[in-house]
Amino acid sequence: MSFPTLRCCVLGALLPALALLSSCSSEPAGPAPGTPAFFWKAAGDTYKTADYNKALENLDQVLSSDNDFVARAVPWALVLSSGMSSAYMELSDRFEAGWKANKTNPAALRRSISNYRGEVKRLSLEFAETAGKLDQVKGDSIPLAFGLPAGTAAPVAALSKVAMGVVLPAPELEAAQKQALERGVLLAACRMAGSPDDAATTAALLKTPDAKVARSAFLLAVAQTLVAESEYYGPQKLDDAEKAMLFCERAQNLLKNVPESKDTKDLAARIQKALKKKRT
Residue 123 lies in a domain: yes
Residue 40 lies in a domain: yes
* Mean pLDDT of the region 29-52: 96
Cα separation of 65 and 118, whole Å? 27
pLDDT of 27 > 80? The answer is: no
| pLDDT for residue 147 | 94
Residue 90 lies in a domain: yes
pTM over 0.75: yes
Residue 73 lies in a domain: yes
Closest CA to 173 of 120, 232, 112, 264: 112
Residue 88 lies in a domain: yes
Residue 83 lies in a domain: yes
142 beta partners: 213
Sequence-distant (6+) residues with CB within 8 A of 216 are: 257, 258, 259
> Taking the C-alpha atoms of 104, 105, 107 and 108 in order, what is their torsion angle to the nearest 10 degrees?
-160
pLDDT of 7 > 50? The answer is: no
Closest CA to 162 of 104, 109, 107, 84: 109
Q: Which of 22-36, 116-130, 144-158 has the lowest mean pLDDT?
A: 22-36
Residue 48 neighbours by CB distance under 10 Å: 13
Residue pair 202/189 in contact by the 8 Å Cβ criterion: yes
Range(s) of the domain holding residue 192: 32-215
Residue 71 lies in a domain: yes
Place 15 in a pLDDT band, splitting at 50, 70 and 90.
Answer: very low
What average pLDDT does the chain have? 91
Domains contained in the chain, number? 1
pLDDT of 225 > 50? The answer is: yes
Cα separation of 83 and 88, whole Å? 9
Residue 230 lies in a domain: no
